Amino acid sequence: MTRSLHVALRSALLLVALSLVLLPWYIRLPKRAEASSATPRFYWTPVETGFSMARYELGQGIKLIKSEVLLLKFSPKYFIFQALSARDYGQHRTDVRTLTKKVGGVSGINAHFFDDKGDPLGLLVAGGERKQGMHNGGRLLTGVFYIYKNKPFIVHRSSFERQQAETAVQSGPRLLADGKPLKLSNVDASSRRSGIAITKSGEVILFATMLRFPGASFAQIQEMLMDPALEVTDALNFDGGGSSQLFVEKNLRLADETFISGGDAVPVGLIVSRKTREKRAGQTTPSR
């Protein structure tokens, strides 16, 4: 046997041995992925009556940093939703933490997109009063979230007819309608995301990605919202990127407050506060 043949044989045997070591590991990778997809990606943690929290891990394959979404679920039976403007407190723009604390709320999220001057774009109804009219142009601000007689709705802007809505904010695009994903553009672009959803039982879910990087795409957010365990029927995107904000006051499950922020001040926030016993006793349930 020549020296070159001996070296070649040793190299071949080494490759075979290495393959035998790595092959089982390689084969197991898909099995682990299948197992993880069957494992629940979140668990609701009750905070108080009508309020639960969860952290949802988005499916992104094998990455060093996985994107998580903070979910806050509220029952309109126990909580009210108010659209608060920074202008009501002498400011052009502010953050949802400040707005939440102004009214003693438990949580707040950014709502409207805004123009170069910092003015909110689209419909704004606060305290039953229409502060700003509907924005009907373009493909972005297609949805309206509103509260009518203690019940939440998300509809296309052309379908909004509730002049008596107590609270209404316009944003977009709509993500889900009747439990089905809507066709969107740039679905794979990642950014900070925040938004709102409604469940089959009429509860409201606020959500926001917890880290700036890697963020999340619309496709990932839609996939999350279609998780059967969430029972979401309709969902609406709020302004993302630097404007994305979600605040939670400290509670029995949080030793300190949580404030997710992209860093930009915003003109309007959707604030969640506890209902008084009197309001809970006097509320009615409307029909669609």
> 235: helix, coil or strand?
strand
Domain coordinates of the chain in residue numbers?
Answer: 1-39, 45-282
User: Residue 128 pLDDT more than 90?
Assistant: yes
**How high is the pLDDT of residue 11?**
52
Distance between CA 177 and CA 224 in Å, rounded?
Answer: 14
Among 151, 177, 163, CA closest to 81? 151
**Per-residue pLDDT averaged across 60-74, rounded?**
79
Residues with Cβ within 8 Å of residue 237, at least 6 apart in sequence:
143, 171, 172, 173, 174, 175, 193, 194, 195, 218, 221
**Per-residue pLDDT averaged across 146-159, rounded?**
96
Selected residue with higher pLDDT from 96 and 277: 96
Q: pLDDT digits over 260-275, tens only?
A: 999 999 999 999 999 9
User: What rounded mean pLDDT belongs to the chain?
Assistant: 86
Distance between CA 78 and CA 80 in Å, rounded?
Answer: 7
**How high is the pLDDT of residue 207?**
99
User: Residue 129 pLDDT more than 80?
Assistant: yes
**How high is the pLDDT of residue 279?**
66
Q: pLDDT digits over 96-119, tens only?
A: 999 999 999 999 999 999 999 999
pLDDT > 70 in the chain, percent: 81
**How high is the pLDDT of residue 33?**
33
**How high is the pLDDT of residue 163?**
73
**How high is the pLDDT of residue 282?**
63
Residues with Cβ within 8 Å of residue 131, at least 6 apart in sequence:
85, 124, 125
Extended strands (E) in the chain: 45-48, 51-57, 68-74, 79-85, 107-110, 124-126, 129-132, 143-148, 151-156, 167-171, 174-177, 180-181, 194-199, 204-209, 232-238, 245-248, 258-261, 268-274
The answer to whether residues 41 and 244 touch, using CB atoms and an 8 Å cutoff, is no
**How high is the pLDDT of residue 161?**
83
Q: pLDDT digits over 226-250, tens only?
A: 999 999 999 999 999 999 999 999 9
**Per-residue pLDDT averaged across 166-173, rounded?**
98
**Per-residue pLDDT averaged across 190-210, rounded?**
98
User: Residue 24 pLDDT more than 60?
Assistant: no
